[in-house]
Amino acid sequence: MATLMAAVKEQRSGIYPLKVCSEPPYNVYCNQTFENGSWMVIYNRFDGPDHTFNQTWEAYRRGFGQPDGEHFIGLERLHSLTYGRSYEVAFILHRDDQEHVGIYDRFEIDNGRDHFPIRVIGSGRGGLRLFPETAELRRFQTYDRNNLHPLARVTMIEEECGFWFVDMPHGHDSPGFQRFCANLRQLKVMIRKRPNAG
């Protein structure tokens, strides 16, 4: 990751190859215009017509889509990129023709044994607060693998929603949960190595 970003630091936004550990190389999209650049796009959704995000747990684990369009990098890759490393994350949400931004100064994803939870989420800045600064465990959950109320699962299918949620098997805020999932239809998530990281 550091080698990739160093290589594109003075270049334009675009697709670049990335190799992590022993994995075969794969292409990622690097954004050089947001907050001084060097961001890797890991999740990009703009509610296209092909239902790209209506995916199973296994698809979210592997990743899907194309890096220059709607896509998700994959939970296994995201774990490999962030675990034990120093990254920040940016969430850019478009809602009601306005852009809402939230940046957290630490971001780390744990492994698949516990559903790739957010292991670390740092202090946030910007107007968007997707993750309150609490100690609640947020696992990645999909319609076919989750620990949620049945009504939440129905909403996930309708809104094509896979994301990090707190377990809630016995309680469900239907309007709030549905609104959250609907908001994910126009969301971009990017990570980069923290500027002061070694």
Neighbour tally for 49: CB within 10 Å: 5
User: Range of 39's domain?
Assistant: 15-132+185-193
Q: Tell me: pLDDT of 173 over 80.
A: no
Residue 111 lies in a domain: yes
169 within domain boundaries: no
Q: Is 125 part of a structural domain of the chain?
A: yes
Identify the residue with better confidence: 1 or 160.
Answer: 160
Does any domain span residue 157? no
Q: What is the pLDDT of residue 1?
A: 43
Residue 38 placed within a domain? yes
**Domain annotation covers residue 122:** yes
**Any domain includes 51:** yes
Residue 141 maps to a domain: no
Q: What is the pLDDT of residues 40-92, one digit of tens each?
A: 999 999 987 778 899 999 999 999 999 999 999 999 999 999 998 999 999 99
Give the span between the Cα atoms of 30 and 41, in whole angstroms: 6
Count of domains forming the chain = 1
- pLDDT above 60 (res 31): yes
For residue range 103-142, what is the model confidence (pLDDT) as tens digits? 999 999 999 999 999 998 888 899 888 876 666 789 999 9
CATH number of the domain bearing residue 97: 3.90.215.10
Single pTM value for the model? 0.90
- Both tokens of residue 152? 């939440």
The closest of 187, 198, 15 to 89, measured between CA atoms, is 187
